Amino acid sequence: MDRNQAHRNRRRLLKTAHFIGLFLTMLVICVPGLWIVLNSFRPTVEIMAKPPVWVPSFTLDHYRAMFAGAGEGGVPVFSYFRNSLIVSVTSTFIAILIGMSGGYAFARYRFWGKNSYFVGLMLFRAVPGVALSLPLFIVFAKVGIIDTHFGLILAYVAMNVPFTIWLTDGFFRQIPKELHEAAEIDGCTRWQAFWKVEFPVARSGVASAGIFAFLTSWNEFALASQLTRSVGSKTMPVGLLDFTAEFTINWGGMCALAVLMIVPALILTFIVQKHLIAGLTFGGVKG
């Protein structure tokens, strides 16, 4: 009897601890983000108030200022958003094409030194953005593609290709090679067999690779901060710096831009979140 009771108590205790642990974890994860969202709707005086004001009031001032453009000392958010979108989407698209073709080569062909090639490619991804930004800045300046969409797209494609190869390789490897053989016998060329059979089957892997590439480009700062200068090419992460002056920071405005940055990433990730995890694990573990 007693021992049963003891075990029951212990289980109850564990359950409570489990709940508290989860709650705290979620709290720590959510509060910083929510704090940003909340403050984007608070007037600056309230943000700066001392002692703190705990009951928030609501204003759209920061958003209004942000979208009003550069006119009233604001930040040209629209341009930044457009630049970010153009650069991220284009570079993701190209990186997927190139990476998929490379991943396919690794998954389907045997050749000498395959593993070394593979690790070699991954190592290029490991080069820190800051370390790369110094020489890349000089080279791009020489070629004359500094401060252009093209230059940044090129840099992001190179940055995203290795990881895309890693993920798609894992996915193509999951697909039995008999599938494209069957397609070839059914009258396809190799090219048709890929697009009509293997690509649709590997779709979710490609989708997850796409998300990762997009997020990387969308969020990247170290390279963008050096390779872009003007309103015509600066991306949002770089644009965030516009809210900082020598000694002061426009917190409210920055929070508003931050929200604008996170929302597309959030939406996109929700759409394909199932594939995201599958992509990572298949690509990595079984590949």
Partner 1 sequence: MTRRRLPEWLVLLLPAIIVIAAVVLIPLLFSLYSSFTPYKLTRPSTLWKWVGTYNYEKILSDAKFWAAFGRTVLFLTIVLNLELLLGLGIALMMNKVTWGQRTLRTILMFPMMFSPILVGFQFKFIFNDNIGLVNNVLQSMGFNAALPWLVDGKLAMFSIMFAEIWMSTSVFAILILAGLFAMPRDPLEAAKVDGCTPWQSFRHITLPFLMPFIYIAMTIRSLDVARAYDIVQIMTGGGPARRTELLWTLMSRTGYVDARMGLANAMGYVSIILSILFTVYFFRKLSAARAELGMAG
Partner 2 sequence: MTEVTLSNVVKKYGALQAVHGIDLDIQDGEFVVLVGPSGCGKSTTLRMIAGLEDISGGEVSIGGRVVNDLPPRERNISMVFQNYALYPHMTVRENLGFSLKIAKRPGAEITEAVNEAAQILGLDELMDRKPAALSGGQRQRVAMGRAIVRHPDVFLFDEPLSNLDAKLRTQMRVEIKKLHQKVESTIIYVTHDQIEAMTLADRIVLMRDGHIVQVGTPLELFNAPVDTFVATFIGSPPMNLVDGVVEDGQIVLDGGVTLPVPTTAGRLSEGQAIKFGFRADNLMPAGHAVDEDGAVYELDLAVTLTEPLGTETLLFTNMAGVEVQGKMFNPRPVRPGEKMNFRLMLDKCHVFDAQSGHAIRR
Binders in 139-178 for partner 2, by CB under 8 A: 176, 178
Please list every residue from 26 through 55 that binds partner 1, using CB under 8 A. 26, 28-33, 35-36, 39, 47-52, 54
Q: How far apart are CA 74 and CA 174, in angstroms?
A: 51
Q: Which of 148, 192, 265, 278 binds partner 2 (CB under 8 A)?
A: 192
How many helices (H) and strands (E) would you count in the chain?
Answer: 15, 0
Q: Is 136 in the site for partner 2 (CB under 8 A)?
A: no
Considering CB distances under 5 to 8 angstroms, the limit depending on partner class, which of partner 2, partner 1, none binds residue 206? none
- Read off the tokens for 208: 């997850």
Q: Which of 93, 74, 60 is nearest to 231 (CA)?
A: 74
Rule CB under 8 A: is residue 21 a binding residue for partner 1? yes
Sign of CA dihedral 36, 38, 41, 45: negative
Instruction: Evaluate the CA torsion angle 166, 168, 81, 233 in order and state its sign.
Output: positive
- Shortest Å, Cβ 177 to partner 2: 9
181 lies in the binding site for partner 2 (CB under 8 A):
yes
Residue 260: what residue type?
Answer: L
Query: Per CB under 8 A, does 201 bind partner 2?
Result: yes
1 binds, among partner 2, partner 1, none (CB under 5 to 8 A by kind): none
Nearer to partner 2, 85 or 272 (CB): 272
